[in-house]
């Protein structure tokens, strides 16, 4: 179900998960998801990590929630540090996993950088990423 449709019909309760810094923390996220299911959130989201630092964990957690937790889930996706092709591959994997909801963001510069600079052949703005997703 699309989150925009959920928002039209009711007030919502949602939870946002931050991927851990290492893979060792992923089981703890899934334990938290199991505990929070008792509150019947309308959807949950999984962030992309500052500067895209935990993007692989975002994808793993998002698809795991969709597959195992019977919750609607939204993946965060940013332009940070990825080519257009790499972003497209993430989108294809999310689609194959049945993820219908993505929040597209430009994202923060990687740690240690003050200004955002797109990857070579990357998306410079969230609007470019949104346009690609719509295509």
Which residues are catalytic, by number? Answer: 16
Q: What is the Cα 54 distance to its own chain's centre?
A: 10
What is the sign, positive or negative, of the torsion defined by CA atoms of 80, 83, 86, 90?
positive
Cβ neighbourhood burial of 102 (10 Å; 0-12, 13-18, 19+): buried
């Amino acid at each position: 179900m699309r989150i925009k449709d959920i928002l039209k019909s009711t007030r919502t309760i949602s939870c946002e998960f931050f991927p851990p810094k290492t893979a060792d923390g992923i089981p703890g996220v899934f334990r938290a998801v199991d505990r929070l299911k008792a509150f019947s959130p309308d959807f949950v989201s999984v962030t992309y990590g500052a500067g895209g630092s935990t993007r692989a964990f975002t994808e793993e957690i998002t698809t795991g929630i969709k597959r195992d937790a019977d919750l609607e889930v939204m993946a965060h996706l940013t332009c940070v540090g990825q080519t257009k092709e790499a972003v497209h591959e993430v989108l294809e994997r999310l689609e194959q996993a049945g993820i219908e909801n993505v929040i597209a963001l430009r994202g923060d510069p990687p740690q240690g950088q003050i200004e955002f600079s797109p990857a070579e052949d990357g998306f410079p703005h969230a609007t470019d990423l949104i346009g690609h997703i719509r295509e």
